[in-house]
Homo-oligomer: A and B are copies of this chain.
Amino acid sequence: MNIKEEFGIRPGEKAVELPAQPDAGVYFIGRIHTPWRARKDCPKNARGSDAVCTVALDPRFADGLKDVGSCSHLVLLYWMDKAPRNLVLQSPAHYGTQRGTFALRSPARPNPIAMSVVKLLGIEGPTLKVVGLDCLDGTPLLDIKPYFASVDSAPEATVGWHRDSK
């Protein structure tokens, strides 16, 4: 850990040394366009907004959208490149309590890959209209997947720390 990283962390946060080299590479396969240009403007969570957002897929991958229009919901994976990757304990400002990185959906994590479940409104060429995002305008897209309720939906799921922290 270097001085700059130590200096940047808040009380209650803990950083670790990251591996010297990445193990694999990802391609940015498109960009997500949202109404939010600054972190402070983003909705607190994805169901807090019914804003229609646009997913602009790199046209080279457009054929990969065949049959996607038959899906009511999609899983989007995207890259949150503005956050530190070395924090294992965090104190998110809006909770004010120290939590483990893997108990949070914070963008600060070793691999800053966000996952959002979105409702698909329509597709035109390599462009999708969706609802259910809370990320910054221009966020790099990593993947689009069909959402299968049979394996992806767990309405009974609970997050104990979240319930208790109210």
Contacts and interface: CB of A to CB of B under 8 A. Distances in A.
Secondary structure at the A interface, as helix, strand, loop or mixed, is mixed
Contacts of A81: 24
A35 interface: no
Interface string A142-166: 1111111111111111111110100
Contact of A72 (B22, B116, B143, B158): B158
Given A14-B63, A16-B60, A47-B150, A103 B25 contact: no
A24 B26 contact: yes
A121 interface: no
Interface in A35-90: 45-47, 60-73, 75, 77, 79, 81, 85, 88-89
B64 A88 contact: yes
A74 to B, nearest CB: 8
A112 to B, nearest CB: 9
A150 B89 CA distance: 24
Contact of A89 (B27, B63, B144): B63
Nearest to A89: B63
Contacts of A132: 151
A23 B16 contact: no
